[in-house]
């Protein structure tokens, strides 16, 4: 069956520091599922609450790494829910302004990790004309969740999976 345009799958790039949580870590999680908690930026939050849908696909980006780059892909497997780390006093993501009654921060669940055969470094991304508009390549772009076009997603995937 054909999906309505409003239900069209969207594509994202999500940054994580692999020392903290890597794509390999996601693969090792029970059910290969993890909450994408700790997002404390309104623009990134709004992407999760307003635009992300279950089934959207994600370029899984390792930042602050050696080298940084796209390690593989994952999928949004649960829609946004209040981020429980915000009201956990022991969490580094604790935010007293967020409460269970009035949550300020939200998180989606990611799963279905697929590690690329080829890690696509930031340097390599820069060499491809088709990828020049990717936000992650823009100077000073710090958003931890970024939209990518279907074309960019497919292109990076092809690079990552080719032998």
User: Which residues would be at the binding site for DNA (CB under 7 A)?
Assistant: 15, 40-43, 63-65, 68, 122-123, 136, 139-144
Q: In the complex with DNA, which residue's Cβ is closer, 54 or 137?
A: 137
User: What are the strands of the beta sheet with 11-16, ordered from one edge?
Assistant: 33-35, 106-121, 69-82, 57-62, 11-16, 145-148
Q: In the complex with DNA, which residue's Cβ is closer, 61 or 153?
A: 61
Cβ 15 to DNA shortest distance, Å? 5
Cβ 128 to DNA shortest distance, Å? 15
Q: In the complex with DNA, which residue's Cβ is closer, 2 or 69?
A: 69
Nearest 5°: CA angle at 127, between 115 and 148?
Answer: 55
Cβ 153 to DNA shortest distance, Å? 18
Q: In the complex with DNA, which residue's Cβ is closer, 17 or 54?
A: 17
Q: What string of H, E and C letters represents the secondary structure of 61-104?
A: EECCCCCCEEEEEEEEEEEEEECHHHHCCCCCCCCCCCCCCCCC
Cβ 76 to DNA shortest distance, Å? 19
Cβ 155 to DNA shortest distance, Å? 19
Q: In the complex with DNA, which residue's Cβ is closer, 52 or 98?
A: 98
Q: If you write DSSP's letter for every residue of 16-54 in order, what string do you get? A: E-TTTS-HHHHHHSGGGEEE------HHHHHIIIII--T
The neighbouring-strand residues paired with 13 are: 59, 146
Structure tokens belonging to residue 37: 């908690």
């Amino acid at each position: 069956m054909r999906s309505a345009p409003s239900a069209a799958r969207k594509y994202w790039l999500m940054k994580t520091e692999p020392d903290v949580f890597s794509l390999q870590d996601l693969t090792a999680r029970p059910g290969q599922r993890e909450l994408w908690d700790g997002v404390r930026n309104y623009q990134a939050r709004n992407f999760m609450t307003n635009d992300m849908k279950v089934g959207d696909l994600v370029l899984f980006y390792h930042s602050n790494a050696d080298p940084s780059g796209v390690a593989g892909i994952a999928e949004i497997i649960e829609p946004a829910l209040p981020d429980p780390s915000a009201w956990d006093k022991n969490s580094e993501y604790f935010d007293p302004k967020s409460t269970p009654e009035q949550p300020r921060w939200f998180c989606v669940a990611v799963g279905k990790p697929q590690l690329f055969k080829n890690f696509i470094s930031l340097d390599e991304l820069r060499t491809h004309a088709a990828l020049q508009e990717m936000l992650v390549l823009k100077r000073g772009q710090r958003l931890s969740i970024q939209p990518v076009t279907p074309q960019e997603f497919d292109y990076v995937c092809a690079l990552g999976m080719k032998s």
